[in-house]
Structure 1
Amino acid sequence: MSAKMSNGEFKNDVAMRGKGVYGANSGQQHSAMLSALPLITKSVADSWGKRPYTDRPFTIAEYGCSDGKNSVEPIAAALRGTADAKHVQLFLSDQPSNDFAATSKNVQKIGEDGEKDGISIFTAMVPRSFYKQVLAPNSADMGFSLMSIHYVDKMPPLREGEFPFDTSRKETRRQTWEKDFCSFLRLRSSELVDGSSLVLSQLSEPPEGGDNFAVVGQALGAGAQDMIKDNLLSHDLFKHFELPTWYPEPERMRELVASVGGWAVKDLFQQEIEHPASVELKKRRAEKEDPEDLEWYAGKVIDWLAAVVSGYFLKTVAITAGDMNEEQREKLLQEWISRSKKRFLADSKDAKVTSWLVFARLQKC
């Protein structure tokens, strides 16, 4: 849940789980990132040597870096395309509440490797939402944002009697995301130089309908319901708990890019990404069916999604659970995760966990 603003809106100021938790549980994000690497390589090939500025470093911007665990390989792919560059500048942006100490630790090796290759790499971290201006005008040669832009900036408050899962609320999320996505593109257009590229990936609507990672979401919902029954969580939880996200269809994304103008769609495709733990479980069970593997699997997939949504859960608990300190809220979070693992093991066992993503490479005209 996002923090309430004075004008009645809800601002999404939540970052991914810090202290290494998100990085340790972002295996599916890593798999998705690998699919974006060829687009990163193409972007650098298009922009390197064609930029209008020769008196500054080649500049790469990431919008939504989280703890940097999945930033290293995209940046390394970009640097391979600028092998003869002498100076490279990196801007890594995320919410002010992001764990930038973890980011710094994870990306430190990039600068060290650059020095070995004779490249001076200057890294800057920008604690600012990418729904604001992040860089000075015409200052970046390429940008990328992976698994981040399905989040919106602000959500209107729920209407009287409305719930987050109502059709009317889903329509509100759609409209809000489309407005924010167009704003994101306009902001990046001012920051990137002409001819540069922007690589994007985000969760998208599955081609045959349904929900992404449905079985994991159901287990988390069931775990919360168990806690409500035991009076550990307020009944108001489900009235307020809402992920401020929207997963568009690929063609709708193309239409929105065209409506903004100033961008050419060079690549756009949809791909199903299976959670690596799901892939690993199939391998294990092909050799031997061990009940401990199912427990391992439940732990992996629940910890993965919990690392993403924990901040929203804690915000909602703070709103609905009355006078409760941070330690007590954290204890509830861990109880929720534990119960959700048990529910997944009981209800889903070895069910496949998968997500559909849309990947795009846009070039600034």
Structure 2
Amino acid sequence: MQRRTFLQTTGLLATAVTASGPAVLAASSAPAAKNKLPKWKGFNLLDFFSPNPAQGRKPTAEEHFKWMRDWGFDFVRLPMAYPAYLKFDRSRNITPDEVYQIDEQAVDRIDKLVAMAHKHNLHVSLNLHRAPGYCVNAGFHEPYNLWTDQPAQDAFNFHWNYWAKRYKTVSSQKISFDLLNEPSMREDMNDQLSKRSSVPGAVYRKVALAALEAIRKENPKHLVIADGNDVGSSVIPEITDLDIAQSCRGYNPGIISHYKAPWANKDPENLPMPKWPGQVGDKYLSRAMLETFYKPWIELVNKGVGVHCGECGAWNQTPHDVFLAWFGDVLDILTSNGIGFALWEFSGDFGVLDSKRADVAYEDWHGHKLDRKLLNLMAKY
């Protein structure tokens, strides 16, 4: 399953590697504050990632949750495309009215997955990866724009009220609601590499606050999380006064995490070979640059806002030794500041199982190919 697009405007693509010399600005020496969120660690599960259920992957099995638990993990994130649990004519573009047509049988499948996770003591974070009027990915025609159109925002609130009602009696220790995957403004919703920009702070606040109210209407103790602006990379200062945690990403720099990924690079076959640390193109990549990148998120923790890294990892074309060296620094910076993480994904190109890397000596694990070195690195934190 291909990981979503990255933006030129975030500075994460290889094409944005332009500055020279090592990054500066080391992490603060002040003692870390206690994160309001638990230091969950786990995986993204892509069972409901596709807007078309017929194109979905093999469902996550109960034994997978047992393995996660036995390996020491306690968290799964479910990035869902809202059309995956709707009933409508898929031979044409969806209409605004059809956005409200919940398919209860599809929802039952989501419930089943949530129940299996809870059975094995894993926290579940429900996320709208595709919401009415917005997705970081192309591949589905939205009938409106979440950031500019009130009908889209009304539908967004409807969906979150639905899920909040569905899990009205479930403790926030067991379930949370991650409002929207990787927000940004996008010029062309159907162009994977179209130019993007930040969601204006006032707009983000309006959308997040309305969804928060729709959720808390059902249970005032429901736990709500918002992905960072600029495709998850930037803190959202406009909502820090709200009772909403924030979710960062573990993909910086993109030349490491998305090396040769065709959905994230305009010329994937002509990229400089990634190194960690080392000079790549015109930029020196190092732990210091990661310290700089995560500094605002660490400061957010110190201000009393809960922070979690909802996605992290690298596609399977990144040399494995480079990936592990970089990822070790990412996880060390996050976890030393009390910030948990979720790998994109459990099984697949970014995962600990069946990632199809050419340079890994896989271990046979119940018929799957296990990346033991990656698993051990994650377990360390």
Class of the TM-score when normalised by the shorter of the 2 chains: 0.3 to 0.5
- The structure with the largest helix share of the pair is 1
Larger Rg belongs to: 1
